[in-house]
Amino acid sequence: MRIGFIGVGNMGGPIAAHLISAGHDLSIFDLNEDAMGPLVELGAKPVSSAAATAENSEAVFLSLPMPRDVEEVVSGADGLFSVMDAGQTVIDLSTSSPTLSRSLAVEGQERGIDFLDAPVSGGVYGARKGTLAVMVGGSEKAFERTMPLFELFAAKVVRCGDAGAGNVVKAVNNMLAFVNMMGATEALLLGSKAGVDPKVLREVVEASSGASFVWSSGTRAILRDRLAPSFTSALACKDIGLAVDLADELEVPVPMGRHTQQLLETYRDNGFADEDILATVRALEDEANFVVRGLAPDIQ
């Protein structure tokens, strides 16, 4: 297939690489020209604008940071919808607003263009390994037609419902993940300062009611002190903001979500914006006068 891809950074780049490896012909665009270099070496064609990726393409993928970027690229004056023909498909991998996704799907339908919101989970590691989870909203026909593409970079692909449903599920997932992350850092620090070997603490919780994916992976990263910014606090604030906005729109109380949003925004505004969300444990360590990072560098 001829495929367009807009936004080939930390997540989009590896996903696009899987598509190229499978033999698809990609036209790519990113505001950061350096980000396109590795994909050009793999055979992708760089183009001069986002809209140019749609030329002769059957589908155009987006992997963009903010809902406003998605709206501008898809529906702006020089957006994809202004140049695409009936029968083409837009696949938005960004974590975006469900309301915006529904609006863009309606606009696309009026032009005969399918729009799928398909946010992903699994981080940069999952993107590189091709093991992402993809939550798709949109028509069943478009979903079935594009499933072979999703399967090239994902281990789990689920159609969650009509347009916007993918981003609803992503918002809920990320809100829960961030609540868990903040709790996991506090629990690890508390138990370790109280004198329990953090390896023992981690092992027992993993076998108990406090277990979660976040506990397992997050505590491992902290105890190894491997907290490279794979998911920054600034990005976490954006994502949990989408969940809280959705809750406000639907008049659903989310006190835990709202408190976590406030906590993350405080961290963001106090030096952690470009650091990994788990690196915020340093702020807790300073208050507790106890360092948990690096206590078990060899933990598996």
Annotated catalytic residues are 170
Element (H, E) at 28: strand 25-29
Q: Which residue pairs from 246-255 have beta carbons closer than 8 angstroms and sit at least 24 positions apart in sequence?
A: 246/97, 246/98, 246/99, 246/168, 246/171, 249/99, 254/175
| C-alpha 61: how far from chain center | 14
Q: Which of 134, 167, 133 is nearest to 249 (CA)?
A: 167
Longest dimension (CA), the chain: 65
DSSP labels for 216-256?
HHHHHHHHHT---SSSBHHHHHHHHHHHHHHHHHHT---HH
Q: How many CB atoms lie within 10 A of CB 165?
A: 20
Helices (H) and strands (E) in the chain, counts: 12, 9
Query: Which residue type is seen at 58?
Result: E
The span from the CA of 182 to the CA of 220, in Å, is 15
* DSSP-derived secondary structure for 124-158: HHHHHHT-EEEEEES-HHHHHHHHHHHTTTEEEEE
- Under 8 Å between Cβ of 105 and 118: no
Among residues 156, 158, 83, 81, the alpha carbon closest in space to that of 114 is found at: 81
Buried/exposed code over 51-79 (b: 16+ C-beta within 10 A; e: otherwise): bbbbeebbbbbbbbbebebbbebbbeeeb
